[in-house]
Amino acid sequence: MALTAIGLCGRALIKVGATAIASFDDGSAEAEVASALYGPARDGLLSANAWSFATVQASLPRLAVEPVADYANAFQLPADFLRALGAGGNGRGRGVGYRIVGRTLHCDSDRVTLTYVGRPAEEDFPAFFDQALIARLAAEFCIPLTESSSRAELLASLAEAEFRRARQIDAQQDNQPGFEDFTLIDARS
C-alpha cells in the first residue's frame, strides 16, 4: 500500500508513542512537528544515496547567461533536483565535467543530460524506503515531542540500521557496471 506524506508521518508518530495526524495543519503539536521536520528529513534521506527509484535523467535547458568563469555554458537544474550523479552529452548521462552552482549546472558542453537524484512522489516510494523514512522521522520527532534523549538515541540507531538495510535492498536492483576502459586488457591484444 502506497503511503502519503501524512501516512508516513502518522506511522513515525506512532513509533514515538504519539498520536497520528490527519493533516499537517490540524493544530496539534504532532502536526506542527511533522510539518516542520518532514520535508528536510525526506530530502536528506533521498539525497543520502543514489536510490534507483529516485534516479532520473533529463536534458537540461541552456541558459542565455554564461558563467563568469571556468565553464562556457550554464543550464537550469530540474525543479525536483536533489543531488547530481553525473552529466553527459550525446545521449550519455555521464562523462562531462561540470559544477553545480546554486540552481544551475555549469559545463563546457553545448547540450547536457543530467543523471540526478530527484524527489519522487511519496506514493512511488518502495516499501523498503518507506520503512527507512518512517524510522528516520521517528528519530527526528522524538525529542520535540517526548524530550527523551535516550529514546531519541535508540530511534536514531534503529533509523541507521533501516537506512543500511534499504541501501542494501536498493543496490540489488541494478547490475554492477563493468570496466569500460582498462588499458591492461587492451595491452593483451
Task: Provide the 3-class DSSP secondary structure of residue 116.
Answer: strand
The predicted pLDDT at position 123 comes to: 95
The reported pLDDT for the residue numbered 188 is 63
What strands, in cross-sheet order, belong to the sheet with 55-59?
55-59, 113-118, 81-88
Q: What pLDDT is stored for residue 175 in this prediction?
A: 66
Count of alpha carbons within 13 Å of 20, Cβ hemisphere only?
Answer: 12
Give the pLDDT confidence score for residue 177 in this predicted structure: 61
pLDDT of the residue at 181: 63
- Write the CA distances from 66 to 62, 81, 102, 131, 151, integer angstroms: 9, 21, 14, 43, 51
Phi, psi of 151 (to 5 degrees): -65, -40
| pLDDT score for 72 | 93
Residue 189's contacts (CB-CB under 8 Å, 6 or more residues apart) are none
pLDDT, position 132: 98
Per-residue pLDDT of the chain (189 residues; tens, 9 = 90+): 579 999 999 999 999 999 999 999 999 999 999 999 999 999 999 999 999 999 999 999 999 998 988 999 999 999 999 999 999 987 787 889 999 999 999 999 999 999 999 999 999 999 999 999 999 999 999 999 999 999 999 999 999 999 999 999 999 876 666 666 666 656 665
- Quote the crossing angle between the two packed helices 5-16 and 149-171, to the nearest 10°: 130
